[in-house]
Amino acid sequence: MIKCNVSVCGTVSKAAVVRNGKDGMPFTTYSVDVVVPAKSGINKTVIVSCIMDGDDAEGIVVGNRIELKGVLTFKKKDDNLYFNLKVSEVNLSPVSESKDGIVGDMEFKGKVGKDIDMKKGKNGKAFLMFSAFSAEKIGEEFAFTWVRFVRFSEEKEEWLQSKATIEAKGELEISVYNDRLNLGCKVAELNQWEKKPYHPNN
- pTM for this structure? 0.87
Q: Which domains does the chain have, with CATH numbers?
A: 2-103 (2.40.50.140), 105-192 (2.40.50.140)
The Cα–Cα gap between 75 and 136 comes to: 8
Q: What is the pLDDT along the chain (202 residues), one digit of tens a residue?
A: 999 999 999 999 999 999 998 888 999 999 999 999 887 778 999 999 999 999 888 889 999 999 999 999 999 887 788 999 999 999 998 887 789 999 999 999 999 999 898 888 778 788 999 999 998 877 777 788 999 999 998 888 889 999 999 999 999 999 998 888 899 999 999 999 887 765 555 4
Q: Are 17 and 34 in contact (CB under 8 A)?
A: no
The residue among 78, 77, 86, 8 whose CA lies nearest residue 54 is: 86
